Amino acid sequence: MSTTYTIDTATSRANPTPAPLKRLTVPALRARKADGVTAEPLVMLTAYTVRTAQLLDAHCDLLLVGDSLGQVVYGLPSTVPVTLEMMAAHGAAVVRGSWHAVVVVDMPFGSYETSPEKAFESAAWLLKQTGAAAVKLEGGEAMAPTVRFLSERGIPVMGHVGLTPQAVNVLGGYGARGRSAAEADKIVGDARALAEAGAFAIVVEGVVEPIAVAITEAVACPIIGIGASARCDGQVLVAEDMLGLFDRVPRFVKKYDDLGTRIGEAAARYAAEVRERAFPGAAQTYAPRD
């Protein structure tokens, strides 16, 4: 899908790139890891809207339209209620707002687990609706046949192991995974299975650090950490967490700004000026023509 389009700038706040450049590709990102080494780590953030995509795109190799939008955008208690339609709407917006990064769309809970054929139907529909380059799905060795099925049919797949939020009801919460030797071995095995099945990259979330390091060293494709290790081949965070829009964030989040406080302060100044009838002023109103 082309990112070149025309917008009436007199009525739209969107600002498309004046001269769209060539977008990164899945093979190019996969090739960043050669002989087990990624010289330039992959940068990945979530995006759910056109404007967020525009602001983040130039700085990221990948933009993830995560099913975390269920909590971040819709205020849902988990990612489980998220639908394909929700993912398609936000995925299309992020593709429209970006020109550089590879856009990956999460496959929501219930859209791929039944069978590889069901997964292909859901993934193909998502890519057609959004113009994204790839999909991401959660699960380890059990999902390897599905990853292989999709990859062999032209759909790039990013895997996701460790703490898998869609399985929160089975896991019993969002605590770090891999504290026992048995669970650690399983997570490493899950990553190996997905890579061997054709995943072009794998997100490793919420695991004790030695597991993340072991996976990064053992698996040929890039490993993208979140609550994992700086030694992974790349990193991803929820943009709203990183920007400080929420007071409560997971332990593994570093806040690079405090936009929540700044937005609240701006809203307070606006409210005060409205109540004082200081806004709008002469610069924001229209005078009669002579």
pLDDT at 109 over 50: yes
Measured distance CA(194)–CA(145) in Å, rounded: 9
- Binding site, by residue number, is 67-68, 106, 136, 138
- Cite the annotated binding site for Mg(2+) by residue number: 67, 106, 138
CA dihedral 119, 125, 127, 131 (to 10 degrees): -170
Q: What is the mean pLDDT of residues 138-160?
A: 97
Q: Would you list which residues are annotated within the binding site for 3-methyl-2-oxobutanoate?
A: 67-68, 106, 136
DSSP output for the chain: --------TTT------SS--PPP-HHHHHTTEETTEESS-EEEEE--SHHHHHHHGGG-SEEEE-TTHHHHTT--SSSTT--HHHHHHHHHHHHHT-SSSEEEEEPPTTSSSS-HHHHHHHHHHHHHHH--SEEE--BSGGGHHHHHHHHHTT--EEEEEES-GGGHHHHTSS--B--SHHHHHHHHHHHHHHHHHT-SEEEEESB-HHHHHHHHHH-SS-EEEESS-TTSSEEEE-HHHHTT--S---TT---S--HHHHHHHHHHHHHHHHHTT--S-GGGS-PPP-
Pick the catalytic residue from 40, 85, 205, 273.
205
In the structure, what pLDDT confidence band is assigned to residue 22 with cuts at 50, 70 and 90?
confident
Higher pLDDT, 183 or 32: 32
Highest mean pLDDT among 15-29, 179-193, 231-245: 231-245
Instruction: Kindly state the percentage of the chain with pLDDT values over 70.
Output: 88
pTM of the model: 0.91
Mean pLDDT for the chain overall: 91
Model confidence band, residue 1 (pLDDT cutoffs 50, 70, 90): very low
Give residue-wise pLDDT tens across range 206-239.
Answer: 999 999 999 999 999 999 999 999 999 999 999 9
Q: Is the pLDDT of residue 19 over 60?
A: no
- The whole-number pLDDT of residue 101 equals 98
Compute the residue count for the chain. Answer: 290
Task: Report, as an integer, the average pLDDT of 29-46.
Answer: 96
Lowest mean pLDDT among 18-32, 50-64, 81-95, 125-139: 18-32
CA-CA distance, 86 to 239, in Å (whole number)?
A: 18
Domains and CATH numbers, the chain: 26-283 (3.20.20.60)
Q: Is-catalytic flag, 117?
A: no
User: Is the pLDDT confidence value at 13 over 90?
Assistant: no
Residues facing residue 96 across a β-bridge: none
